[in-house]
Amino acid sequence: MRSVVRYAAALVAAALVGAGLTYLAVGARAASTASTSAALAPGLALNPDFERLIQAYEDIRRQTIWPNTPDSLMIGAINGMVQSLHDQFSEYLSPAEMASLNQELGQSFGGIGVEMDVNRAGQFVVVAVFPHTPAARAGLKPGDVIVAVDGRAVKGKTADQVAQAIRGKVGTRVTVTVSRRHTLITFHVTRAEISAPTVFTRMLPGHVGYMNISEFGFSTGRQVLGAYRRLESEGARGILLDLRNDPGGDLAQCQIAAGAFVPRGPLVTLEYKDPKENEILNSPGPGTRLPVVVMVNGDTASAAEILSAAIQQRGVGILVGTRTFGKGIVQELDPLRGGAYLKLTVARYLTPNGDYIEHKGLTPNVVAPEPGTVTPSDNPAADPQLARGYHILLARIAKA
């Protein structure tokens, strides 16, 4: 598996699920909530607690010697209300934060087309160069160590800072200096619109089709369906689906992706505060007739857990690895005035068997410890945990 530099992500108009993010569409529910809130607004003026809030606001504006603005006080009040919920997944998102998060999960941005990882020495290593991108045309290669961007050394910076330095407006130029076999090489690259893949495949010996989903971005469903058809056409007799370290993402994309593995029918049930709003999301099918083994670990979360649970509990395949993260709650993104959003936990989700996995996770059919010294990869020879799943799948293929 390619270790991708990942970022928290959010979307305005789709359902998302992740380890730290689980979002639902801002649609009918949000509109209904907004209408209700507007209808109650006149009553708030008569509410003693709301009156106390207004008094505090006016006192601060009139008396304190410390700098403040109406906007900063409103944001502070909103953050205070959210923090009183003691929910790590509920938060206020500023317009700038929403724009940044949308861009990240959208997997489309102005960049050069490289996938970067941080090695144990703290170096920023190019682990993949996407085909037909500025980086590929310029000559960057996997294994290159990034040492400077636009003449500024990257030593001491975070992965996010380096990634943001490389990214920028489409059509602008960036200078990237790398170390390749102890030789410094400088590339002058013009940024372009980059759509980063979230699905990676390869054919392993024994006609085992390996598929890794790094996260559920806005186009992951389409990528999974295409990757599955490609592996099938290449003669795959079984699928080794690697969801280790997959933090989740867009639930709608998870639902699309499920169609490649899970037959038409229940995928996940969403339970809201008002039972009348409960809903069952189904896999569109048709599913697969090939043996399936899913690799999971403690960082397999939310949308990845939903897919894993459906494959396991619908009898499609088995899970191999360690207990998953255990996130079974759902957040909704509600728009506020000025482009900000409020992310609130509004529902819990249940697996096809009716299990609520919050803080519990999924138990693998076969427990295979994850060596602390080994990074999950797509190479069974270098990854004992993957090797366990690989050999189990070979045995299932032989019996099919």
Contact between residue 331 and residue 348 where contact means Cβ atoms under 8 Å apart = no
- Residue 217: count of CB within 10 angstroms of its CB: 25
**Integer Rg of the chain from CA:** 24
What is the band of 41 on the pLDDT scale with cuts at 50, 70, 90? low
Burial status of residue 250 (CB atoms within 10 A of its CB: 0-12, 13-18, 19 or more): buried
Give the pLDDT score at 92: 93
- Cα separation values, 44 from 36, 51, 88, 331, Å: 12, 8, 27, 25
pLDDT of 205 higher than 90:
yes
Lowest mean pLDDT among 2-11, 36-45, 339-348: 2-11
What is the band of 5 on the pLDDT scale with cuts at 50, 70, 90? very low
Pick the closest to residue 195 from 165, 168, 217 (CA basis).
217
User: Euclidean distance between the first and final Cα of the chain, in Å?
Assistant: 27
Helices (H) and strands (E) in the chain, counts: 10, 22
For helices 220-233 and 251-258, angle between their N-to-C axes, nearest 10 degrees: 20
**Of 67 and 22, the one with more pLDDT:** 67
Give the pLDDT score at 208: 98
Give the pLDDT score at 43: 59
Give mean pLDDT, residues 229-256.
Answer: 94
Give the pLDDT score at 31: 45
Contact between residue 57 and residue 77 where contact means Cβ atoms under 8 Å apart = yes
How high does pLDDT run on average in the chain?
87
Pick the closest to residue 137 from 181, 194, 86 (CA basis).
194
Lowest mean pLDDT among 2-11, 163-172, 255-264, 391-400: 2-11
DSSP3 helix / strand / coil % (the chain, rounded to 5):
30, 30, 40
- Cα separation values, 281 from 91, 269, 284, 358, 381, Å: 26, 6, 9, 19, 38
What is the band of 75 on the pLDDT scale with cuts at 50, 70, 90? very high
Give the pLDDT score at 35: 42
Give the pLDDT score at 105: 61
* CATH 3.90.226.10 residue window(s) in the chain: 6-106+197-400
| Chain segment 316-365, per-residue pLDDT in tens | 999 999 999 999 998 888 999 889 999 999 999 999 999 999 999 999 99
Contact between residue 125 and residue 116 where contact means Cβ atoms under 8 Å apart = yes
Homologous superfamily of 6-106+197-400 in CATH? 2-enoyl-CoA Hydratase; Chain A, domain 1 (3.90.226.10)
What is the band of 192 on the pLDDT scale with cuts at 50, 70, 90? very high
| Chain segment 145-179, per-residue pLDDT in tens | 999 999 999 998 888 789 889 999 999 999 999 99
Which class does domain 108-195 fall in?
A: mainly beta
- Percentage of residues of the chain with pLDDT beyond 90: 65
Give the pLDDT score at 254: 95
pLDDT of 297 higher than 80:
yes
| Chain segment 88-101, per-residue pLDDT in tens | 889 999 998 887 66
Residue 388, CB-side half-sphere exposure with 13 Å CA sphere: 19
The whole-angstrom separation of Cα 297 and Cα 44 is 47
* CATH 2.30.42.10 residue window(s) in the chain: 108-195
Whether this prediction's pTM lies above 0.85 is answered by: no
Give mean pLDDT, residues 381-389.
Answer: 96
Lowest mean pLDDT among 156-160, 199-203, 259-263: 156-160
The whole-angstrom separation of Cα 94 and Cα 73 is 14
The whole-angstrom separation of Cα 178 and Cα 181 is 10
Residues 6 or more apart in contact with residue 201 via CB below 8 angstroms:
209, 210, 211, 212, 227, 230, 231
Give the pLDDT score at 14: 34
Give the pLDDT score at 250: 84
The dihedral region occupied by 367, where left means phi > 0, alpha psi between -120 and 50, and beta the remainder, is beta
